[in-house]
Amino acid sequence: MPAPRKYPDELRVRAVREVRATGRPVAHVAKGLGIREEALRGWVRQAEADAGERDGRLSTAGLDELKQLREENAALRWANEILKAASVFCAQGIDRSRTRPCR
């Protein structure tokens, strides 16, 4: 489970909107709102990526899809390891006694 967010979503939206609409530097807006400058800079970059204005960064939808695919990949790798272990176990059983195959 992810850690809770330090700043509410409303503050994030307001801060990004203020930077993009007014053109004020990120440092000034962050100081005025009482948030960390690097946090606001990251939010602005992500908003630009979501709007298609920034290359080299995935949009939020892309990040969500990547996260889901990584979780699915991990689950499939785990299942594959279980199947490998089961096949080794069954192969050992067949070698010991050819009269009773593993079922």
Q: Residue 11's domain is classified under what CATH number? A: 1.10.10.10
Same domain, yes or no: 94 and 78: yes
Domain count, the chain: 2
Same domain, yes or no: 20 and 47: yes
For residue 29, give the nearest of 17, 54, 47 by alpha carbon: 17
Does the model's pTM come out above 0.75?
no
- Contact by Cβ (8 Å): 10, 24: no
Residue 26 buriedness (CB in 10 A; 0-12 / 13-18 / 19+): buried
Segment 86-95, tens digit of pLDDT? 998 888 877 6
* Percentage of the residues of the chain whose pLDDT score is greater than 90: 61
More confident residue, 40 or 56: 40
Same domain, yes or no: 37 and 73: no
Same domain, yes or no: 53 and 33: yes
Residue-number span of the structural domain to which 90 is assigned: 60-103
Dist CA 49 CA 56 (whole Å): 8
Same domain, yes or no: 76 and 96: yes
Segment 11-51, tens digit of pLDDT? 999 999 999 999 899 999 999 999 999 999 999 999 999 98
Residue 83, pLDDT above cutoff 90? yes
